[in-house]
Structure 1
Amino acid sequence: MAVTRVEQVMGFPVSVDLRDGEPEDADRVFAWLHEVDLRFSPFRLTSEVCRYDRGELPEVSDDLREVLDLCSRYERDSGGAFRARLPGRPFDPCAVVKGWSVQRAAAMLRDSGLSRFCLNAGGDVVTAGEPTDGQPWRIGLRHPGNANEISAVLAVRDGAVATSAAYERGQHIIDGRTGLPAYGLLSITIHAADLTTADATATAAFAMGAEGPAWAAAQPGCQVYAVDSDYRVFRSPELPVIR
């Protein structure tokens, strides 16, 4: 049966669209995401992340170690533009936790036998199969200068799409090399096989500024749609654009 549900988790709306699932499947997704919010939020003083940052954990969990490894990987690969720990600020792994946790939720659904679904976490999307036979999931990319306009529409099957931009939260992404807000891009969208990769790559590339799109396009399995501060578009030729 088809199941759709929307809840506010981790500070943004998460929608679950299951074309071959049950209400209990959506329950498991949201239970996991609420658990992630409790454990990995840098804004909850009792969270696992905050306790780790204060040196209060006697042992690091497997999940936290995986997140720490992701943070280290993207810091290294981006030349320090991506940083989960900025000078004078507490440890904040949100840039990788969002994609990682939603991708884990998608894996839970697949392990339960589901093959047609779409999870949308604040505009970052992971899909499986097709919503109806022969039709892909259609993912619209917002125009960075006009909230009422779509720049492109992607056709996605069994893949993920994540966008980093300044149009929702302002200049919130910091270039770890300078400690200043990133500049040079208005938005960058990454299409990849999984949302962990798409989300972290999009954030790292945005932090890198003008050099970000070419760097992201060179990452294994990543396709790019980026708009720079002069509204010039960088697009990977293999990106599945249908409009």
Structure 2
Amino acid sequence: MRRVEQVMGFPVSLRVDDECVPAAAVDAVFSWLREVERRFSPFRPGSEVSRLDRGEIGPDEVSADLAEVLALCEEYRVATGGAFDVRLPGRGLDPCAVVKGWSVQRAAERLRAAGVRRFCLNAGGDVVAAGGPWRVGVRHPERADRLCTVLEITDAAVATSALYERGAHILDGRTGRPAEGLLSVTVVAPTLTEADTTATAAFALGHTGAAWAASRPGCETYAVTTTHKVLRTPGLPTAAPAAA
């Protein structure tokens, strides 16, 4: 079963390789992601995030879901010494860097709870997979027609932060300026919540980001610096070359 929808500003694709696919579980994935977009988008005036940012509700009045997201935002802000920050001066509250991975991971957990055993859920290039192995290509940061490497994952997640899709959109919260030092950083982790947030936080850290991400428990990394140096951890699950 394959299904693709545009949600949260990017394509979300789901592939399920089980023989019997519960249609209700698949519908629930996309319904949940659309709900997340309505509730947590900083670009929707009526969203819970926008209402909190305007002071219409207080921090003690937010939903349990948003409280969880904000706690993750604070955890990574502290861990990066302020490089990762969803409350930059002169800008509104924007937790999207956490919401994406967190919400897609929640969707994956719904599939597992419904008994789906083998699937790949791809949200704008960030992937969470069950069963396996699944092969995930890591795009070259400067050549859209090339891959840097191919990963092979089983019951894991992969996320990449880079310049090639949206330019210098990741800011260093310590300076308020675009982060410098990395062209791309890819993180493999047990969950997409960890992989996606760690990749974004590492990119925000700049020159020290790859080493910081590599030090995070359960994370394997592949990074390309602005001087074109490749930094990879020894445990990175790289796929074996195809037989000739």
TM-score, normalized by length of structure 1?
0.96
Query: In the alignment, which residue of structure 1 is the partner of 2:34?
Result: 34
Write the letter of the residue equivalent to 2:158.
V
CA distance in 2, matches of 1:171, 1:22: 41
2:226 equivalent among 222, 225, 229: 229
SS in 1 for 2:238: coil
Aligned mate of 2:167, from 170, 173, 189: 170
SS for the counterpart of 1:147 is coil
Fraction of identical pairs, as percent: 63
> Please, which of 1, 9, 12 is the counterpart of residue 11 of structure 1?
9
> Secondary structure of 1:148's match?
coil
AA partner of residue 161 (structure 1): V
In structure 1, the residue matched to 2:212 is: 215
Provide the aligned length of Structure 1 versus Structure 2: 236
**Residue 179 of structure 2 aligns with which residue?**
182
CA-CA distance at 1:55 after TM superposition:
1.4
Q: Pick the aligned partner of 2:142 from 145, 165, 173.
A: 145
SS, match of residue 86 in structure 2:
coil
How far apart are residue 24 of structure 1 and its match? 2.2
Runs (4+) off by over 4 Å? none
Deviation digits for residues 174-218 of structure 1, max 9, x if unmatched? 000110000110000000000000000000000001100000000
Post-superposition offset of 1:230: 1.1
1:65 alignment counterpart: 67
Q: Note the residue ranges of structure 2 that are not aligned, 5 or more in a row.
A: none
1:109 aligned partner: 111
Q: TM-score normalised to the size of structure 2? A: 0.95
Shift of 1:57: 2.0
RMSD: 0.8
3-state SS of paired residue (2:73)? helix
1 CA distance for matches of 2:211 and 2:181? 13
Q: Which residue type is aligned with residue 122 of structure 2?
A: N
Distance in 2, Cα, partners of 1:60 & 1:173 = 26
User: Structure 1, residues 4-41: CA drift from partner, whole Å, max 9, x if none?
Assistant: 10000000000011112233222110000000000000
Secondary structure, in 3 states, of the residue corresponding to 1:146?
A: coil
